[in-house]
Structure 1
């Protein structure tokens, strides 16, 4: 059975992200794993200078497990109010000491996982993304990561915006994305950001021909975004096209950093205006939604 992992730190933002993911799981026919990591003071560098009783570590573990169970019960209560014929995700929990980045291998070992969902973060966000651990998750995940804005409420997915560089690798992403769009009959808008007066007709034609031949999904269309700056083009996608979901590909070895100078990507991931789905690249295979 497919499974969606929700990274939670019990904040209001994480609670909202969990509610969003729960509705997504309902439509995708996927179960839910609530996943929480916490820092153990006795394992930190300063612990060598401070006497930290091991009993306190145990108490911290039990406290976090209790909070995790409470959040799971809140989600189960929501599910209990759904119509009788609705798919009702099973909700399980996992709690461990460490950080989301360090424990990512353990999480990704679950072959049923198709998606990781997390909330946006801000200064002071503890445990889950302390020290910008969200970036660590993005850099090390082999699964797509969906980042949910603080006040985003799930209604449906009607339009998905996917900025593409027209590469063959984006076809693999699009094939996976079509599976996500299919239960909602959502439109997928392929957007290529290029300077004004430079339509790049031949690459576009070749790419769209490949899309037609390789992607079995009818609701895909193309739009050229005329902007000299990629950053400005992405801002337009966030604000002007009415997308319910923005999709990006996070290429390792600094690809995004070279495009945006690093700062814009961090800003977009921290505070997206719409839910942001980030696919890793390269990976052996993308999930089938």
Structure 2
């Protein structure tokens, strides 16, 4: 059965990420594997299977697991199973092996609001995993509103739109009956597409390859990426932004590398697809 890998590497940020992971798992009938990078410590409660607490996971667990256990109250009649794995000592090869062997469909990671001073609480090689696997990673701002998806947007140049990304987003959106849109913004150096030409490419090429009845196009003529991002998030009220790692508009929004915190303008979950 497909699973979500929830990275537990920051106490404050992981609670919101856990809520998002549980929301997705419930709608898509997935299990959750908690990849714990923090040192484990004994607690009075063992993390139980959400479907009713029938089974307990032996051994010490982290306080982050308590967060997941408490969240079972928010999910009724659910069959989401949770497994905790300590990955604190895993190297990149072992992490890649885990992701590939355990049929991980999505990686979810919480992002802090501020850069931590001193040694980080836990570490997870985001860039390396995106480079070594074909699994997308969803980054959740620590104070993002967690709710059912209504609108998902993929920012890309329509001429280089990846069908597999739209199919993935459609699979994610379908249980929510959410809309999926392509926000076309021309890549640097390329001319803008007229609305008429963009609609033709969208209907004749993309819609024939991606079959989803709530697939839409937004031809964005704004060249300022900061303004365009503000429109997509605050004007159009999208709930999830999709980008390709280090392609097209990624570096203009995220910078050269994915750091400890997200850019201030990114206030909603963002899903990064491997290049």
- The secondary structure found in structure 1 opposite 2:185 is strand
CA RMSD of aligned residues (A): 3.1
Q: d(CA) in 2 for partners of 1:90 and 1:100?
A: 26
Partner of 1:210: 205
Higher helix share: 1
- The secondary structure found in structure 1 opposite 2:101 is coil
Do the aligned partners of residues 190 and 7 (structure 1) sit closer, same or farther apart at CA in structure 2, a change above 3 Å counting?
Answer: same
Deviations 1:215-240 (A, max 9, x none): 12100111111112344423432332
Deviations 1:248-280 (A, max 9, x none): 1114xxx35885297377479724210101111
Is the counterpart of residue 274 in structure 1 residue 273 in structure 2?
no
Please tell me whether Structure 1 or Structure 2 has the larger radius of gyration of its CA atoms: 1
Aligned length: 251
Q: d(CA) in 2 for partners of 1:239 and 1:134?
A: 27
Q: d(CA) in 2 for partners of 1:177 and 1:116?
A: 14
Partner of 1:225: 220
Partner of 2:8: 8
Q: d(CA) in 2 for partners of 1:269 and 1:208?
A: 37
Q: Which runs of 5 or more residues in structure 1 are unaligned? A: 39-59, 282-289
TM-score, length-normalised on structure 2? 0.77
Partner of 1:47: none
Q: Which runs of 5 or more residues in structure 2 are unaligned? A: 44-58
Deviations 1:105-159 (A, max 9, x none): 13313342100000114422724347xx444444444201001111124221001
Is the counterpart of residue 105 in structure 1 residue 96 in structure 2?
yes
Deviations 1:180-205 (A, max 9, x none): 0100010112111249x933443552
Partner of 1:184: 176
Do the aligned partners of residues 185 and 26 (structure 1) sit closer, same or farther apart at CA in structure 2, a change above 3 Å counting?
Answer: same
- The secondary structure found in structure 1 opposite 2:144 is coil
Partner of 2:65: 72
TM-score, length-normalised on structure 1? 0.74
Is the counterpart of residue 248 in structure 1 residue 207 in structure 2?
no
Q: d(CA) in 1 for partners of 2:171 and 2:258?
A: 27
Do the aligned partners of residues 168 and 106 (structure 1) sit closer, same or farther apart at CA in structure 2, a change above 3 Å counting?
Answer: same
